Chains A and B, each alone.
Chain A
């Protein structure tokens, strides 16, 4: 500034100062009214640059927390459905124990069977549990019921794929459960057969689960001694049978070393016990029966097998150590050693280490109903076997519950961690974005005072000149 000071200079200086003060005051007022230090990028570009990614991350974090909540809801609902299923299985076990009690009458068993039928339906509805419009036990197939029942077979229509949601940065959580793993077990062990037909498990690996009935039927007899023929009556013996005819006043026939039976020509039938029995072969005796020239031979009592309630049949080949029989309902395969088969009848197939929650209940219901018309003793035996199966189901479901519980608690941990992280981020964001209210208020008071002062000074400076004193 030069030597001379003019009135205009003072006025300009005052104006400049007042304007600067107004600008500063205005900005402070804006900060105070919005609560933010950075109201536009230029307020503090460096802070703004730090703020944006933090803000984005926080949004993402909120999403993660929402996902966690959703996952937790799913796990809770799935857990409570599974708990109900476990409860249901324990009721099934009680019923099996009760049913196995020999003192129970047929009527009482039928009542129990009706309850078992209800349990089956309840189990099906639990397995098709939903949260909103989302099925919980179908793997990634969440929009249609994963389990459906046709006849006595419940099949799984879901998949084993999983769907994950992000619950933390670079951390995903599987929110699906495959019903196959929960309601069908896969810890496969050796298959066992309970029955008297002589069939044994084959060498191949079976693919069935749980308990099933294997039915062996006779379909016909070949290589019959001359003068005898296949009878309309169904024989109970199966397999390759050595026979010998002893001629005499009355010919006798013996099969597999069994007691000789007289062949009366003209008599319609001959019933021959095979070996020591109880299986037998029934043959028609032709009217023109004469002692055959060959008196020994091997006849074949042909048969077929099914383990899908007769929906599909496989012919027995007695030379096969590993005959494969398919269940047309599930596509599963049973490997059978057909070489030792001696008679028709039913075998209870138990696929070791596996179970099928629905199948167990079906078996319970049918055994209690005694649909096969078995003796009291057999029914009790079967029910006792079922108790073991129910226990396996139990174990598997508890395993599933543990898994859901573990995932649930992991979610809770993650959620806590995310909340912690959110607080840290909020702090970081706040440091850059928010004002310190007391500091800003103090600053505003100072600026207001400076503004008032500049106005006062301006007014006085401009007013005064020599004129006032001349």
Chain B
């Protein structure tokens, strides 16, 4: 019967343990990572009674179990990583979106709009000073917005390192903890005791770690858990390998394990989002902003540098950009343009410089060929200095300084020469003979010709093939130089002048006594040039005036040649005509200048050009002709943009785009026009047209549409990150609910358990007391 006491005792013990378990479960209802405990109770071994049957000896608690689903825990870990990543991504996209400030007044979209609007306003009244001020203000507003965005995004990029470091400190703490727990769990469970509390804590640490970075768990038989982060072992049994953040070669943040030199490619968790932001998202946005700003600077400066300020042609100009002393010899003049560290690439092309005489309005235009791989800054300055009335130097700061002599001004505009007959080879008071054939000429064989001026005796001029660089291809310019040297040496009072690609002769004398005759002696030099031989050209009492108005609207760079088609008096001779040829020999127009033409009326040439052919007479017999330069792009090399000569913007990207200080200081320097006329707005028209221009550099977008795409892409990304965050959060919530459903504590359940155990305890106690009564009864029998 005594074993009956033990049965009762076991009952008491089991019930008490059950009650304590329920109490513990209730107490831990709010503990993070707590897994509900459940006692596993079984009958204790039976006793074989007399008679051979077995009787149970009560119940015993075999073990205390953590109620959990291992696969669910793994899924929660994965989801934690996804959630951590989307949380940071959303935070960052929201910040990026907020910085853009769209669609507000301070957004770049509105500020660009204001800028183009200010150009539009100034267009209506280009001379107006307050509107010029308005444009400068609008420009500054826009460039400031570019600068602010660029600096905010680089700051955000720079804050990645400290944020990653903070996350890693937390991760390393968890890694240490997991390793320590591993060791404790292994040693405890080796004795057969389930290390429930430690497992709970470890589970929670792993979950926390998975929100920071990739966490893959390998469970060992001995109860320890190894942790792999993106393929790198960070916890191996009781050993932890902490992570650290370093700056990689490209300045970006990299994660490394222990002393390893290979970086961990983190794909999950908050760190993944931080790294992705630093090396993909932010550089992407900055790159697109930079493209925009660069296009804005390049395209606007291309237009502006070839315009004309309100103050007219420049008397001095300093480049905004200083070249870098690449070879470190303290000299700037020897830097090749291609390697001079200019913000924009200089291409092979040509620059046309116009020098204007303030008094007469005469324009001398010079073409400078630019080859950035062959031309140094010094060469460029020399080329500019070789133009009459112009000097250029490379100053000690590496800037190009151009200056004109007093009474002259220079510019890079394509304005038309108002007086293209300044060489006086068309209806001139001097005797002239013009060549009808355009160069280059083939002057290989030795030739000679005679020239007689003012009725004097003929002088022989010899031409040899050795006079020319390439005798089969002699350009008009080179020929004129050679001819003038020879004419001067022979003391002939006449000169050769270049008319576009043609050549004319002109006597130095004027009036009716001025005369000129040429004849070929050996070879056919004059015939090759198309210069009339054997006829005597005479001068006139007064020369004919030509005036040009308008702006060239045609395509390409070249010149027009105006040629007399017959002999006669302007406005008098019936059927008198002047033909206008393009450089390629095609005819642009035939102008009627005979009877019926008012010599003070403009003649429409086409391509935006109007010409006045005033009183006088012209001669086809003498080959009267003059040429007019027609330029579409006066700087095909981008040298003006590269050096920042007469630029509107300075800088090279979003971070440093700014309005040129020259213009800020003096709004009159906004090159609104192409001519020297206060309300000429033709350059503003080109600047405004930039708004609708598809730019190749922006993959066919306009600047604004490129920006609109960028801003709405950010909108889409932010929206996406929000949606992802919400769904990841919902999924994590669902999984945690699942876990809660399995491992969580239900008070009602525990209360029921508690009541049940209490009743079992009371019953077991009653059993013992009944046994006691029984044994008392037996004891009393013996008395």
* Residues of chain A at the chain B interface (Cβ within 8 Å): 1-9, 12-13, 16, 38, 40-45, 48-49, 51-53, 55-56, 59-60, 62-63, 66-67, 70-71, 133-134, 140-144, 159-161, 163, 165-166, 175-176, 186, 188, 202-207, 322, 324, 326, 331-333, 335, 433, 465-467, 470
Contact = CB atoms under 8 A, between A and B. Distances in A.
Contact of B749 (A4, A45, A62, A133): A4
B776 interface: no
Contacts of A433: 103
Contacts of B103: 38, 40-41, 48, 51-52, 55, 433
Contacts of B549: 159-161
Contacts of B745: 6-8
A40 B718 contact: yes
Contact of A140 (B120, B610, B615, B677): B677
Contacts of A188: 598
A205 B601 CA distance: 11
B109 A56 contact: yes
Contact of B113 (A4, A56, A324): A56
B614 A331 contact: yes
Contact of A333 (B599, B740, B746): B599
A52 B712 contact: yes
B97 A42 contact: yes
A256 to B, nearest CB: 30
B708 A53 contact: yes
Nearest to A53: B708
Interface in B650-689: 677-681, 688
B409 interface: no
A60 B688 CA distance: 11
Instruction: Please classify the interface of chain B as helix (H, G, I), strand (E, B), loop, or mixed, using the class held by over half of its residues.
Output: helix
A62 B717 CA distance: 32
B569 A206 contact: no
B598 A67 contact: no
Nearest to B738: A2
Contacts of B614: 331
A67 B109 contact: no
Contacts of B125: 70, 134, 142
Contact of B123 (A12, A166, A326): A166
Nearest to B750: A466
A12 B595 contact: no
B567 interface: no
A160 B549 CA distance: 9
Interface size class of B (residues with CB under 8 A): 35 or more
A5 B746 contact: yes
Q: Which of B114, B677, B733, B742 is most buried by chain A, counting CB atoms within 10 A of its CB?
A: B677
Contact of A59 (B117, B709, B719): B117
Nearest to B126: A163
Interface string B591-605: 000011111111000
Interface in B586-623: 595-602, 610, 614-615
Given A41-B100, A159-B549, A207-B598, A142 B678 contact: yes
Given A9-B741, A42-B93, 11 more contacts: A2-B738, A40-B103, A41-B102, A42-B717, A52-B102, A159-B549, A159-B677, A163-B126, A163-B679, A202-B572, A203-B595
Contact of A6 (B109, B569, B708, B741): B741
B29 interface: yes
B712 A48 contact: yes
Contacts of A161: 549-550, 677, 680
A142 B310 CA distance: 13
A156 B223 CA distance: 105
A67 B120 contact: yes
Given A53-B708, A141-B679, A160-B602, A60 B740 contact: no
B329 interface: no
Given A8-B29, A41-B712, A42-B719, A205 B678 contact: no
A152 B723 CA distance: 84
22 contacts: A4-B749, A5-B746, A7-B745, A8-B745, A9-B741, A12-B733, A40-B97, A41-B102, A41-B715, A49-B708, A52-B711, A59-B114, A60-B116, A67-B124, A166-B688, A175-B124, A203-B572, A322-B569, A324-B569, A333-B571, A466-B748, A470-B751
A235 B678 CA distance: 54
Contacts of A467: 747, 751
B752 interface: yes
